[in-house]
Amino acid sequence: MARKENAGIQKILFPTDFSGASIHAAAYALLMAKTYKAKLYVLHVVDTSEEASGFYLPHLSYEKLDKELMESAAGMLDKFCSTRFKGYKNIEKRVLAGEPYKEILKVIKGIDIDLIVMGTFGKARIDRFFFGSTTERVMRKASCPIFVVPPPR
């Protein structure tokens, strides 16, 4: 899908895993949203891939965990947004379940996102060694620009 020239930035996606890197990147997402008067979509994906579920909670079923994980994640996202984006009204929060980079890519396409703001080096440091980071995967397949925020030094 071709992007419209001079359409501006109207929709910004900020995926978060609640890590320090994500907290640091939130300030940039808010700055960009205010600068462009854009709608800010804040997304958290509960990682329900077999690798993640089996690693963290090997004896519980997906069905039993899914509801509790989603409710807990929604609460965490509410708290994160009320702290990091306090006072910004043009915001939409979403909690999804699945493999993070795949869900992020679906949201990008589904909402026709203009810009993504993401932090690097979140929770999955070990996974990055084996699978590549979520940020790297999104960068390779996203259909819009990505503003990648490195961790604070």
The pLDDT averaged over each successive group of 10 residues in the chain (153 residues) is 62 94 94 97 86 51 72 94 96 94 96 94 51 80 92 76
What is the predicted pLDDT for the residue at 124?
A: 52
What is the predicted pLDDT for the residue at 120?
A: 82
What is the predicted pLDDT for the residue at 7?
A: 62
From the list 109, 107, 113, 137, the residue with the least C-alpha distance to 32 is: 113
What is the predicted pLDDT for the residue at 1?
A: 44
Confirm if 149 and 118 have CB atoms less than 8 A apart.
yes
Whole-prediction pTM value? 0.83
What is the predicted pLDDT for the residue at 69?
A: 83
What is the predicted pLDDT for the residue at 106?
A: 97
What is the predicted pLDDT for the residue at 102?
A: 94
Domains, the chain = 11-149 (3.40.50.620)
